[in-house]
């Protein structure tokens, strides 16, 4: 055995060395000059753009068209690389670790931006932007860029879209008309209760409110959540994290949810139901309301996709947190072979209407036809079901305000967005993003505890005070104090850096 074991080890070692020999590729020095040839012209270069989504049938056609246009502009071609939402985590992690070369990648605060930036996956963009993306700051404005910084450094550029989140409910238009509910302005929770009560009393067989999203919406409207139920209360002037589980307002709200549940206002599948199901129930005439984050024209969008008319009603003033500022961004990868060119491309996404709309809607005449300067519609004989280039989502790229509007959309959409952005209340810690790395182990334990309580509390089916007390106890045992200390420390550091 001994001898044979040695031999086996030798065989293994030998094979490892042999294999390792052919794997290492020398990483060559990046061309910092922007890939120019001797006489100052740009060399041809292929830009790779990685974003989540499903590859469309005509992806190659659009890619071809964009490449033609880009060759004229910055002598570059483009490779669009959509990656399925469900495979994104596995795939992109391996891409990053195995040093796969690509230029631009979609990222967001809810999509690992802080983590990847901390790991050095994305390049710092300030210098590049000053050199090759001169138009971007003018388009985005100060707040957007400030909100995207991590530790004062910019690792990705946000899409110019809605800057903040509105909060409220989507209501079945049919029932709103029937009972002549007034949905203008901002409604208090008591006013919402009155409506739900009316529906419950007069519409047997209709569930007043579906899914537990209302609790998410309420929390997001009242706190700037950091992590593990630590949050800065909205409207707070000082930069200090409070524990939501000890906040009387929070406990009060969940007591109210418990009452709602007892009144029979929620649906029976509340534990698992989501917006998708809610829209289906409203469509089937079995539901009245579901909570949703709002933006101008959200109700029209939802009516289009679900095939039932809904109207939106606000329950709080829009609020801008770091999460909203970093809601959709593009970062330049450290593995990019020509970061300068990637930045030039980004600059075009913010300023060049033609290029952006190719990416958003496809090729003119084939995937859409122009009705007027900025309004488009499907070509003859094409419908939403038969289109060959369903939009990857204009909210992911560049300046969404440059995106064409569909004939059935509000022609004032972008003006309304601008108004919405201006009216949205900025959080006192806008731009702060918590880095989880130092408390990763504790966070994993706390997440498990949260899973156990969050859902049941959100359904309103349990006694709020008792559940929250139990939750607190379990959470504290999972190492909450350490997380809190880390949050306080990072907040102080961030506050000091702001001055």
Partner 1 sequence: MQRKNILNTSMIHLFFWIFTIVSLVPFALIFMVSITDEDSIAANGYSLFPNKISFAAYSFLFNDFSEIARAYGVTIIATVVGTTVSLLITALFAYPLSRQGLPFRRTLSFYIFFTMLFSGGMVPWYMTYVNMFDMKNTLISMIVPNLLLSAFNVLLMRSFFANSIPESVIESATIDGASEIKIFFKIVVPLSLPIMATIGLFNTLSYWNDWYNCMLFIDKAELYNIQYLMTKTLTNIQYLIMKSSSSAQAGDLLAKMPRETVRMALAIVGIAPLLFAYPFFQKYYISGITSGAVKG
Interacting residue ranges for partner 1, rule: CB under 8 A: 1, 4-5, 7-8, 11-12, 19, 22-23, 25, 54-55, 59, 81, 83-88, 90-91, 94, 97-100, 108-111, 165, 213, 216, 274-276, 279-281, 283-284, 286, 292-293, 295, 301-302, 305-306, 323, 327-328, 390, 393, 395
Rounded Cα distance between 375 and 361, Å, is 12
Task: Rank residues 62 and 344 by Cβ distance to partner 1 and give the closer one.
Answer: 62
Q: Of 92, 478, 124, which Cα lies nearest the Cα of 334?
A: 124
**Cα 339 off chain centre by:** 24
Show the tokens assigned to 330: 């593009």
481 vs 74, 379, 449, 475, 494, CA distance in Å?
53, 60, 15, 9, 20
Residue 481 C-beta: closest distance to partner 1, Å: 25
Minimum distance of partner 1 from residue 151's CB (angstroms): 21
CB of 337 to partner 1, least distance (A): 16
Contact 376, 369 (CB under 8 A): yes
Least spacing, CB of residue 126 vs partner 1, in Å: 26
Q: Tokens in use for 149?
A: 């910084």
CB of 492 to partner 1, least distance (A): 25
Q: Distance between terminal CA atoms of the chain?
A: 69
Q: Which of 325, 291, 293 is nearest to 167 (CA)?
A: 293
**Contact indicator for 135, 142 with CB cutoff of 8 Å:** no
Tokens of 239: 């930069």
Judged by beta carbon, residue 69 or residue 88, the one nearer partner 1 is 88
**By C-beta, is 324 or 442 nearer to partner 1?**
324
Nearer to partner 1, 321 or 347 (CB): 321
Query: Which residues, at least 6 apart from 73, have a Cβ–Cβ distance to it below 8 Å?
Result: 348, 352, 355
Nearest to partner 1 of 10, 407 (CB atom) = 10
* Least distance CB 90 / partner 1 (angstroms): 7
| Complex with partner 1: residue 90 or 252, whichever CB lies closer | 90
Residue 166: CB minimum distance to partner 1, A: 9
Beta carbon nearer to partner 1, 35 or 327: 327
Residues ≥6 apart with Cβ < 8 Å to 374: 404, 405
User: Which residues share a beta bridge with 313?
Assistant: 169
| Coil/strand/helix, residue 445 | helix
């Amino acid at each position: 055995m001994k001898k044979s074991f040695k031999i086996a080890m030798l065989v293994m070692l030998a094979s490892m060395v042999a294999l390792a020999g052919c794997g290492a590729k020398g990483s060559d020095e990046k061309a910092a000059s922007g890939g120019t040839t001797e006489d100052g012209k740009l060399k041809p270069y292929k830009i790779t753009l990685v974003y989540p989504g499903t590859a469309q049938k005509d992806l190659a056609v659009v890619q071809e068209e964009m490449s033609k246009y880009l060759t004229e502009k910055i002598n570059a071609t483009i490779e669009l690389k959509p990656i399925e939402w469900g495979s994104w985590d596995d795939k992109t992690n391996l891409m990053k670790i195995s040093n796969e070369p690509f230029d631009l990648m979609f990222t967001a605060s809810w999509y690992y931006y802080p983590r990847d930036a901390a790991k050095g996956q994305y390049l710092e963009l300030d210098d590049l932007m000053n050199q090759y993306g001169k138009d971007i700051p003018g388009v985005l404005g100060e707040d957007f860029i400030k909100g995207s910084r991590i530790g004062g450094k910019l690792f990705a550029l946000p899409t110019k879209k809605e800057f903040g989140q509105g909060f409220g409910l989507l209501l079945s238009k049919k029932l709103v008309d029937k009972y002549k509910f007034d949905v203008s302005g901002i409604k208090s929770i008591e006013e919402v209760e009155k409506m739900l009560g009316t529906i419950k009393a007069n519409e047997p067989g209709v569930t007043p409110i579906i899914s537990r999203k209302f609790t998410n919406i309420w929390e997001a409207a009242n706190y700037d959540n950091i992590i593990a139920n630590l949050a800065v209360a909205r409207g707070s002037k000082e930069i200090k994290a409070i524990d939501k589980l000890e906040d009387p307002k929070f406990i009060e709200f969940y007591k109210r949810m418990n009452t709602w549940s007892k009144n029979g206002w929620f649906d029976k599948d509340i534990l698992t139901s989501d917006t998708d199901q809610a829209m289906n129930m409203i469509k089937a005439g079995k539901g009245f309301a579901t909570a949703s984050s709002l933006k101008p024209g959200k109700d029209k969008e939802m009516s289009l996709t679900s095939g039932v008319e809904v109207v939106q009603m606000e329950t709080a003033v829009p609020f801008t947190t770091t999460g909203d500022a970093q809601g959709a961004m593009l970062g330049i990868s450290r593995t990019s072979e020509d970061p300068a060119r990637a930045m030039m491309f980004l600059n075009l996404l913010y300023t060049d209407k033609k290029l952006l709309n190719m990416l958003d809607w496809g090729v003119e005449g084939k995937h859409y036809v122009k009705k007027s300067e900025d309004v488009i519609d499907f070509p003859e004989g094409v419908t939403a079901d038969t289109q060959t280039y369903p939009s990857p989502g204009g909210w992911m790229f560049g300046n969404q305000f440059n995106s064409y509007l569909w004939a059935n959309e509000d022609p004032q959409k972008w003006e309304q967005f601008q108004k919405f952005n201006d009216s949205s209340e900025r959080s006192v810690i806008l731009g702060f993003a918590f880095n989880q790395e130092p408390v990763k182990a504790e966070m994993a334990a706390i997440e498990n505890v949260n899973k156990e309580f969050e859902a049941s509390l959100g359904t309103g089916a349990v006694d709020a005070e008792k559940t929250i007390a139990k939750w607190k106890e379990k959470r504290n045992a999972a190492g909450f104090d350490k997380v809190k200390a880390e949050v306080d420390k990072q907040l102080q550091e961030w506050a000091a850096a702001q001055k």
